[in-house]
Structure 1
Amino acid sequence: MIKYILLFCLFSFISLSAQETSHFDKICIKTIVETSAQSMPKAFKIADSLYNSSDTPLGKAKSLLLIASLHRQVGNFKKSLLYAEKAKYNIEQTDNADWNLRITGYLATQYRIVGLYDKAAEYVDQADVLSKKITVQSNLFQAEALLNQERAYHEIYKKRYQKAIRYAEISLASLKKINSKDVSYTNYITANSYELLGDSYYYLDNYPTSEIYYNKANTLLDSPSPLQGFVFNGLGMLSLKKKDWKQAKESLEKAKKIAETLNNRELRQQVYFNLSEYYDNTGKPELASQYYKKYIEISNLITKEIQELVNESYSKLNSSNEMYSQRSLLKSFIILLLFVLSIGLVIFFNLREQKQRKRFSEIIEMTKKNSEMNAKSVLLSDQESKEKKKDDSPMTSEKEVHLLKSLEKFEKSNLFNDKNMSLSHLASKLNTNTRYLSYIINTHKGEEFKTYINRLRINYIIIKLTNEDIYRQYKISVLADECGFSSHSKFTAVFKNFTGLSPSLFIKYLDEKPEAIDKESFEKIEH
């Protein structure tokens, strides 16, 4: 559901004081809205020029946020966060609450995209405090509208669609209080709330109401944008549900044109999947397989980039903690050698426990996140996905897509817990040969068969331990048998290899912090 988050990036930049927009701000807005859609290199050149010509912290903050937004549009999460954090540093040197709010909201959104929810929550809280400092009433209403849209994104991610609807409606109520001269801006953020409502009602299977809100959003959008692309994609999904194939193709082709013109990966991901469904249902398997492969490729790319950024963020956090501990030990050593030795031991064990608890929290968060993204595992891994080979597939495109879908069904079953599971055994069940199956797993899952099966098994037992309290009462040997391992020791070794924690320690942390588990997020994570 990354698409729900993408739209806020644009509004984090556009001025809340639309009535009195400066020449500098107008250039920024034109760059992010128009120039970037025509030529991204030109947009970056303008942004760099604005930064170099800025001689105040406010001007630098605006320019840096523009650069961050452009990097976000092309899918560079790392640089987007880097420039946004620099913008935050500069805006903190001023007393401008309006821009501080926008930059803070942008950071909250970006950290939520990459799965760093604690960090995102910190910025959401900061944004809420900053909104109370806004004195201009129209600006306050706009801030309330955007904050409630952000809250709606959170609720959609958690599949709490009724709450998302409530926040989207509150956002609309705030927007109605605005008397803005910039009608196009107000229409755009109003359309954003309508699109949120369309999505929420769609996932509640209330298709007639969903269509009403998608159409309301569409009437307010007069030029191609990511938001308009998602609206057309939503209308296309509704037409697929109604089996109105002609209308489905028309809407999805419009969404595809916008996605590819703007090079919006999240929109392309959604559209390619729905076009695959369309062609599958209209008897064109070759086109269906082409779009499904495109969907798989872009999904893996997005997952890989987010995974790398999450791993890097946790690594930097741990490095920072270790450096701080070393400085503390050095200072204490000057005071008293024996004291520092005792403190050193305490710090050592505390740091080790902190790392283990962070790893535990990381697994829980990634479990919830990857349930939305249909990722292959809930576990963070140092192993990077292998690059797909384009021209050396031993099978036809249709056969490859068919095997991928069969493998997805296998992953949703519990057959991988069979102790006799082997490459030949699974190939027989999927009505294929070991060469084809080995190629599919190596190319699309990025690992060998044994590692792939072990990852599924550990993923399965983590979800069981998290979601069903009774599993935490079982002996480790019972858990090992449950997920297909031949012995207690082998299960423990594989579990620790994937998670960095022993099974008993993982269970201990689950029992100590039941509040860390959002049961709603795990209800539909079944194999």
Structure 2
Amino acid sequence: MRFLLLFLIPLAAFSQIENQSQKFDSIYYHIAINVSSANPVKAIHLADSLSLYAANKQQKIKSLMLIADILAKQEKRGEAIIKALSVLEIVKEAKEYVLLARNYGFLATQYRMIGFLDKGKSFLNEGIKVSRLFSDKKQVVNYIAMCNQELAEFALVEKDYKKMIEYLQLAMLTFEKEENLQAKYFVMANAEEMLGRSYLFLGDVDQAISHFSKANFFINDAGAGNTIWASLIYQSLGNAFLESKNLDSAGVYLKKSLSVAKDSNHGSLKQRVFRSVSEYYYQVKEIDSFTIYNSKYNTQLAKNTAEKRLMINTAYNSLNERPEEK
């Protein structure tokens, strides 16, 4: 999916949780990780409520950024970009540098996802510049780690898998030190899944399975075993087992992935899962099931292709409406 995860990790994941905002952060995390995956419409309403009842400007901004994030999870990237660009002006005026840098990171991800690589990298560079203004040096380190993970995503698009591994290993040096265990397990799960994919592209199936297996443990330890992120990990693990001809294990994980993906609104995840499931049924010679899921894959592929064109047009139009960004 990357999907993404795709985007940079959830905005609350690396924040320093202060006593007076623990309840807000707990609700925020629940909406961002669990509700947005299972019920994005409900997640939007909850994020709107968070915005209305925000206790301060920082919480207000976080809530607005969460709405953009939920839109992105539904693959409404044009709307997500427009929302994030509007929030950008609010954050600049408030001089909330941590949130400003994260918003730049979010925009970098969205532009990468629709193929605007240079624009995406320019937003990432802006975020790195802003991070130098953070008063808390630990937050600087955490932000650079998130940027390294995002740079790994760019390396994936550019098919530079060795560079992808280097960026991920740098990011994980910081992720491993995260004190908030739920956040730590979540970001480590996503990093391990990406490492697995990089090794799979390099033809090292055993290493890929090892990293996907670690991702599987981490995502469940994070309490996110029924989310779209978990579905991606199960699909990746099942796909690696297909490569190694371990069909029994492949079937277990691909069916777990399908059980989450089929009820989601994430088109690119469905496309990946339908393709892997159809390949599984082809290899086990269940031709009727292969035909069903191959048809689902082709239908989803056509739908995603049309929607991506629309997303690109929306993103382009959003730039034209902002001459300073053009």
TM-score (norm 2): 0.90
In structure 2, distance between residues paired with 1:319 and 1:17? 32
| 1:402-457: CA deviation from partner (whole Å, max 9, x where unpaired) | xxxxxxxxxxxxxxxxxxxxxxxxxxxxxxxxxxxxxxxxxxxxxxxxxxxxxxxx
Corresponding position of 1:30: 30
- Measured in 2, the distance between the counterparts of 1:47 and 1:294 equals 32
**Equivalence for 1:99:** 99
Aligned mates of 1:82, 1:199 — CA distance in 2:
31
Structure 2 match to 1:294? 296
Q: Which residue of 1 aligns with 2:176?
A: 176
- Cα distance, 1:165 vs structure 2: 0.4
1:151 aligns with 2:147: no
Per the alignment, do residues 65 and 267 of structure 1 end up closer, same or farther by CA in structure 2, a change over 3 Å counting?
Answer: same
Using the alignment, how far apart are the partners of 1:36 and 1:311 within structure 2? Answer: 25
Q: CA deviation at 1:246?
A: 1.3
Per-residue displacement from partner, 1:454-486 (whole Å, max 9, x unpaired)? xxxxxxxxxxxxxxxxxxxxxxxxxxxxxxxxx
Q: Which residue of 1 aligns with 2:307?
A: 305
Gaps of at least 5 residues in structure 2 are: none
Q: Which amino acid aligns with 2:209?
A: E
1:283-337: per-residue Cα shift (whole Å, max 9, x none)? 222211211111112122222122123234445656877xx9xxxxxxxxxxxxx
Aligned ranges 1:306-385 → 2 under 5 Å: 306-314=308-316
Q: Does 1:281 align with 2:283?
A: yes
* Gap change, CA 1:56 and 1:73, over 3 Å in 2: same
Q: Quote the sequence identity (%).
A: 26
Q: How many equivalent residue pairs?
A: 319
Quickly say closer, same or farther: Cα 1:52–1:194, change in 2 above 3 A.
same
Paired AA for residue 218 in structure 1:
N
Residues 1:134 and 2:127 aligned together: no
2:191 to 190, 193, 204: 193
Q: State the alpha-carbon separation in 2 of the partners of residues 84 and 5 from structure 1.
A: 17
Distance change in 2, residues 1:187/1:40 (3 Å): same
TM-score, normalisation: structure 1: 0.57
Q: Which ranges of structure 1 fall in alignment gaps of 5 or more residues?
A: 325-357, 359-527
CA contact (8 A) 1:15 1:25 kept: no
In structure 1, distance between residues paired with 2:10 and 2:283: 40
SS in 1 for 2:7: helix
SS at match of 2:94: coil
CA RMSD of aligned residues (A): 2.3
Determine the C-alpha separation between the residues in 2 that align with 1:228 and 1:47: 22
Could you give the per-residue CA deviations for residues 31-63 of structure 1, whole angstroms, max 9, x where no partner exists? 122333443332222111222334854333212
1:86 aligns with 86
1:251 deviation in Å?
A: 0.9
* Change over 3 Å in CA distance of 1:26–1:288 after alignment to 2: same
Q: What is the distance in 2 between the residues matched to 1:75 and 1:131?
A: 28
Q: Distance in 1 between matches of 2:131 and 2:56?
A: 23
Q: Does 1:260 align with 2:258?
A: no
Report the Cα offset of residue 260 of structure 1: 2.4
Q: Is the 8 A contact 2:148 2:171 kept in 1?
A: yes
Residues in 2 aligned to 1:318 and 1:141: alpha-carbon distance in whole angstroms: 34
Distance in 2 (alpha carbons) for counterparts of 1:83 and 1:319: 13
